[in-house]
Amino acid sequence: MSKLHDAFATAKAENRAALVGYLPAGFPSVQGGIDALIAMVNNGVDIVEVGLPYSDPLMDGPVIQQAVTAALEAGTKIPDVMATVAGVATTGAPVLVMTYWNPIERYGVERFASELAAAGGVGVITPDITPEEADAWIAATDAAGIERVFLVAPSSTDERVAKVVAVTNGFVYAASLMGVTGTRTSVSSGAADLVARTRAATDLPVAVGLGVSTPEQAATVAQYADGVIVGSAFVRTLIDAATPEAGTAAAGQLAAALAQGVRATASEVNA
C-alpha cells in the first residue's frame, strides 16, 4: 500500500475522513509556502496538495488566482514546486502536485514524473486531462511510481465515471459542483450522490473538493466522503495575514479547526 493509501486507511480506521489541504507553491514565497504547509500538517492536515502556478487556471477561483498570480510574478517555476514538495515531504505526510496538463507537457512528461518522485511526491492531480489523452501520462507515472488522480463532476455520466476511475490509482477527486474553486456558504447537495455513484465504480478513496471552507462544511462532507479537500480557505488565511508568519499561524489554526470538523460525529453535524 502506498503512503497516500495509508493516509486514507488510517483516517478510515479512526472512523473519519482524511483532511486534504492545498496551497500553491511560491506564495507568499517559496519558503513561506513550505512553512505554511508544514504548519497545516502539524495541525491535522493528512494529505497535502501543492499547486503548480499556471497562467491560465481554468478551475481556479479569484482567491487562488490572486495567490497564483503573485507566485508567478515572483518567478515561481517548476523547480520551486519540486522544492516545495521536498520540503513538505519531510513531515511524512503524502504530498501531491495539483497542476494543469500544459506545464507537464512543456516540461517533459517523463521528466516531471521522475523529478516529482525524486522530491518525495506521491502523486499528481490533473484536472484538465481526459482518460482518452492520458496514455503518455499513465506510462510515465507508472514508470516513476507516481499515483494519478483524475476528476469526476456532477455532470459525469456513470459511463464517464467508469472511464475516469479506470485510469486513476491514487484517489478520485469529486468536484462538488460545476464551476471554479472558492469558499461558499454551503456544499452542493449533489456531492453526496456523485460520491455514491463513484464508489459504485471503484474501491479507491473518493475525496470531495470545491466549496469546503468551514469546520461545519468539512464535518458534513466527512459523513459521506473518504476525504475532504480544502484550498481557497487556506489560501485566504495567507492573503489576509499582515505578515508571512501570521499567515502560517492562521493556516495552522484553520487546519486544527477543520481537523476537528472531519472528526465530528453525525449527531454533532446535525445538532
**Active site residues per annotation:** 49, 60
- Count CA atoms within 13 Å of residue 80 on its CB side: 21
Give the gyration radius of the chain's Cα atoms.
17
Give the CA dihedral 207, 239, 67, 259, nearest 10 degrees.
-10
Measured CA to CA, the distance from residue 229 to residue 149 in angstroms comes to 13
Instruction: Determine the 3-state secondary structure of 51 from DSSP.
Output: strand
Whether the CB-CB separation of 64 and 231 falls below 8 Å is answered with: yes
Residue 47: strand, helix, or coil:
strand
Q: What is the DSSP string of 121-160?
A: --EEE-TT--GGG-HHHHHHHHHHT-EEE-EE-TT--HHH
